[in-house]
Amino acid sequence: MSWSLGTFGDLLWLNVDESRQFVAKLVSREIEEAVEYGRELSLISHDGLLRDAFWFPLLKPALDLASSDAERLEGLLDFVVFAYTEGVRGDSYAREVLQEEILDRIAETSYITTVKRVSPELFQIIEVSSGSRYRSLWAQYGISE
C-alpha cells in the first residue's frame, strides 16, 4: 500500500473490508484535529485502531452473536490469527498491543469458550501467550488444563 496507515491500519484495511468505515472515521478525525490545531498528522495508535475499528464495532458483536453468524466470526478470528502469526512478525510492540487489546479481552471473559470452539488455532495462541494467567478463571467456564 503506498499510503500507510501503520501496522494495524494497513492490516485491517487490506484484510477486513468491513473495518474500512471505522478506520476511515479514525483517519478523518485525525485530519480534522490536525487542521483545527495546526499540527502535523500523526499515525493512529495501534490500540486505538484495534479497539475502535475492530474490537468494539466488529469482533465483540460477532462474539456476542456467535451462534447466529458463525462464518463471520470465524473470518474475524482468522484475521486475529493472521495478524498475530504473520502481520506483526518481528514487531514486538505491535504484538504486545494485539495481546492487550484483543487476546487478553478474549482470555479474561467467557468469550474464551467460543474461541476454543470456533478457532482452536487462536485458542492455542491465547493459551500459549497468556493462558497461565487465566487458567483458574477458565476453570469457571469448564476449560481445564
Domain extent listing, the chain: 6-140
Packing angle between helix 70-82 and helix 120-140, nearest 10 degrees? 100
**pLDDT number for residue 1:** 56
Residue 50, number of CB atoms within 10 A of its CB: 25
Average pLDDT along the chain, 145 residues, taken 10 residues at a time: 88 97 97 97 95 98 92 97 95 95 96 96 95 88 83
Residue with cell string 484484510: 15
**pLDDT number for residue 96:** 96
Residue 23 DSSP SS3: helix
**pLDDT number for residue 144:** 80
